[in-house]
Amino acid sequence: MAVVLRLQRIGKRIQPHYRIVAIEKTSGPRAQPLEVIGHYNPKAEKDKEKVSFNNEKLEYWQKNGAKPSETVANLILRAQKAAARAEQAEKQEEKK
């Protein structure tokens, strides 16, 4: 059973919204996922609002051999960078 982390589209025709899911590699796009890890909203204005995921679930699936798709890997990096920028901004405000 090869598990991958990929996007599963939900939402309306002109209002795309995606789930980041752990799913078997051979499953189709509408198949039942093993677990929903997070969400991606491409229409959101801020990076922090675009991608949200549960770090514990993500680490669990990656430790068990799930490979993220190229798009999901890029979204994870983007979310981590946004979180790091938010932490730096908070530290700078505390120093003032």
Predicted local distance difference test score (pLDDT) of residue 47:
73
Q: Per the CATH hierarchy, to which homologous superfamily does domain 3-95 belong?
A: Ribosomal protein S16 (3.30.1320.10)
Q: Which of 19, 23, 21 is nearest to 9 (CA)?
A: 19
Predicted local distance difference test score (pLDDT) of residue 46:
80
Predicted local distance difference test score (pLDDT) of residue 77:
92
Predicted local distance difference test score (pLDDT) of residue 96:
67
Predicted local distance difference test score (pLDDT) of residue 61:
95
pLDDT tens, N- to C-terminus, the chain (96 residues): 799 999 999 999 999 999 999 999 999 888 999 999 999 999 998 877 899 999 999 999 999 999 999 999 999 998 888 888 888 888 888 876
Query: 46: Cβ–Cβ under 8 A, 6 or more apart, which residues?
Result: 82
The full set of domain ranges for the chain reads 3-95
Predicted local distance difference test score (pLDDT) of residue 64:
94
From CA 21, how far away is CA 93, in angstroms rounded?
36
Q: Which of 26, 18, 23 is nearest to 75 (CA)?
A: 18
Predicted local distance difference test score (pLDDT) of residue 85:
87
Cross-strand bridge partners of residue 53: 38
